[in-house]
A and B are shown apart, each in its own frame.
Chain A
C-alpha cells in the first residue's frame, strides 16, 4: 500500500514540477472546443446539440495526446526495473500509475469543461450530464490509453501506434458516454447508458492493471 501511495505522490509531484503536460493538454482540449465552432459555424442550436459529442471527442484526443510518456520516462530512467522488484505487485503499481495519470490529465479536463460548455451553448442539464458522464467514462479512457502506452513502451515509433490500438477499444466509452449525456438531459431521462458506462469503466479498471503489468514485464525482459 505504501508503494502504491508513493507512486501516486511521486507522479503528482513530478507533474506539478514540470507543469507542462497538464497545461498543454488543457490548451489542446480547449483548442478543439474553439476549432469546432469555427468549422461548423456559429449556429446556436446545432452547436448545442453537437456539444456532448465535441466535448467527448476533445477528451478522447487529449487523453491520447497525454499518454505517450506515461511509461516511457519510467522505462528510460530505470524506474520500471525498480517497480518489478518493489514490495507490491506490478499490477498494483500500474493501478497507482493509472490513478495518478487520471488526476494529472483527465481531472483538469473535466474541470475545464464549463468553459467549453459556454462556448458551445450547452443547456445546464446537458452540461451536468456531460460532467457526470465524463467522471464515469474518463477512467476507462485513461486505463485503455495506459494499456496502449504499456504495449508501445519498447517501440521506437510507439507514440504513433498506441492511438491506432486504443481507438477501436474506446468505442463503447464514446457510445455510452454521449448517449448518457443525451438521455439524461432529454425529455424522458434514462439511466441505462450511464450504468453501462459505469460498468464498462469498472470492468476496464479491474482488468487493465493486470494486462499492463504483463506487458511491462514482457517489455522489461
Chain B
C-alpha cells in the first residue's frame, strides 16, 4: 500500500462517496435523519411487541417460550450484523482512510457488545425451559460467546488508544483479522460440538409458520432500526468529541504561544 497517497481535500462537487466520507457533510444530513429513524423504531417496536406478546400463538412444540425467540433472534442477528458493519468500516478505514469509517467502527463496538450480551442472556433464558440448563456448550451459544469476547477486546482496544488516527488503523487491522476468523471459529466450534454432544436439536432449524415468522421479522426489523438510530447518534457524538478535543488543543497551543510572546516582549 502506498503511504504517501493523499485524498484530494477539495473535490469540486462532492459525489456520493465523499458525501459519505466527510464528517462535516455527514453531520449535515444525519441531523435530519435521527428523529424520523427514532420514530420509525418506536412504531416498529410497538407493532412487533404487539405481535410478539398478544397476537401470536404458542408454538406447538415450545409452548409460550417461543416468545423469548422474538427478542433472542434479533439480538443474535445484530451481534453478527454489527460486526459485519465494523468489518466494512475497517476496510474503508484501511483502504481509503475514510475518517467517518473510523468513527463508525468506534461507535459500533460498544453497541455490538451490548447486543451480543443480550443475545447470550436471552439465549440462556430460552435454554432453561427448552434444554433444562441455563448454559449449554452448544455451537451457536459458544461462538456467540467467543464473538462477545472479541467485542470486549475491541472496546478495550479503543479505550487504550489516545491517538485516534493511529489507533483506528491498528484496530481496523484487528477487526478484519477477527472477521476472517469468525467463520473459522464458528466452524471449529460446531465441529467440536458435534464431537461432544450429538443430540441437541434446536428449534431454529425447523420451518416456521407465518404466525411465528411475522412477529420475528418485525422484531428483527425493529432491533435493526434501533441499532441504526443509536449508531447515528453515537457517531455524531464521536465527531463532536473529536471537534471539542481539537478545539481544546488548539486553544491550549494558542494560549501558550501568546504567553510566550508576552513574556518575550516583557523582556
Evaluate contact between B184 and A200: CB separation under 8 angstroms.
Answer: yes
Evaluate contact between B195 and A179: CB separation under 8 angstroms.
Answer: yes
- Selected contact of A218 from candidates B152, B173, B185, B189, CB within 8 Å: B173
Residues of B within 8 A of A28 (CB): none
Evaluate contact between A196 and B177: CB separation under 8 angstroms.
Answer: no
- Selected contact of B188 from candidates A151, A155, A165, A176, CB within 8 Å: A176
- Number of chain A residues whose Cβ lies closer than 8 Å to a Cβ of chain B: 30
Which residues of A167-221 have CB atoms within 8 Å of chain B's CB atoms?
Answer: 167-169, 171-172, 175-176, 179, 196, 200, 203, 207-208, 211, 214-215, 217-219, 221
- Selected contact of B173 from candidates A151, A155, A169, A203, CB within 8 Å: A151
Evaluate contact between B192 and A168: CB separation under 8 angstroms.
Answer: no
Question: Is B252 interfacial (CB 8 A cutoff)?
Answer: no
Residues of B within 8 A of A168 (CB): 146-147, 149-150, 153, 178, 181, 185
Evaluate contact between B188 and A154: CB separation under 8 angstroms.
Answer: no
Contact with A along B184-215 (1 / 0, CB 8 A): 11011101100100000000000000000000
Cα A209 to Cα B147 with chains together (Å): 23
Chain B nearest CB from A133 CB (Å) reads: 14
Residues of A within 8 A of B181 (CB): 168-169, 172
Evaluate contact between B173 and A172: CB separation under 8 angstroms.
Answer: no
Question: Is A147 interfacial (CB 8 A cutoff)?
Answer: yes
Which of B122-130, B154-162, B222-230 sits within the interface?
Answer: B154-162
Chain A nearest CB from B121 CB (Å) reads: 19
Question: Is B5 interfacial (CB 8 A cutoff)?
Answer: no
Evaluate contact between A171 and B173: CB separation under 8 angstroms.
Answer: no
- Number of chain B residues whose Cβ lies closer than 8 Å to a Cβ of chain A: 32
Evaluate contact between B189 and A171: CB separation under 8 angstroms.
Answer: yes
Question: Is A164 interfacial (CB 8 A cutoff)?
Answer: yes
Cα A165 to Cα B174 with chains together (Å): 9
Chain A nearest CB from B189 CB (Å) reads: 7
Which residues of B124-176 have CB atoms within 8 Å of chain A's CB atoms?
Answer: 146-147, 149-150, 152-153, 156-157, 160-161, 166, 169-171, 173-174, 176
Evaluate contact between A175 and B160: CB separation under 8 angstroms.
Answer: no
Question: Is B3 interfacial (CB 8 A cutoff)?
Answer: yes
Contact with B along A141-172 (1 / 0, CB 8 A): 00000010001001111100100110111011
- Selected contact of A221 from candidates B146, B161, B166, CB within 8 Å: B166
Chain B nearest CB from A220 CB (Å) reads: 9
Evaluate contact between A164 and B149: CB separation under 8 angstroms.
Answer: yes
Evaluate contact between B161 and A155: CB separation under 8 angstroms.
Answer: yes
Evaluate contact between A215 and B192: CB separation under 8 angstroms.
Answer: no
Q: Which chain A residue shows the least CB distance to B143?
A: A171
Chain A nearest CB from B167 CB (Å) reads: 8
Evaluate contact between B156 and A161: CB separation under 8 angstroms.
Answer: yes
Given contacts A151-B173, A161-B157, A168-B149, contact A219 B184 (CB under 8 A): no
> Can you spell out 28 A-B residue pairs with CB atoms less than 8 angstroms apart?
A151-B173, A157-B160, A158-B160, A161-B157, A164-B153, A164-B156, A165-B157, A167-B149, A168-B149, A168-B150, A168-B181, A168-B185, A169-B178, A171-B188, A175-B188, A196-B191, A203-B184, A207-B180, A211-B173, A211-B176, A214-B1, A214-B169, A215-B170, A215-B173, A215-B174, A218-B166, A218-B173, A221-B166
- Which chain B residues have a beta carbon within 8 Å of chain A's beta carbons? 1, 3, 94, 146-147, 149-150, 152-153, 156-157, 160-161, 166, 169-171, 173-174, 176-178, 180-181, 184-185, 187-189, 191-192, 195
- Which chain A residues have a beta carbon within 8 Å of chain B's beta carbons? 147, 151, 154-158, 161, 164-165, 167-169, 171-172, 175-176, 179, 196, 200, 203, 207-208, 211, 214-215, 217-219, 221
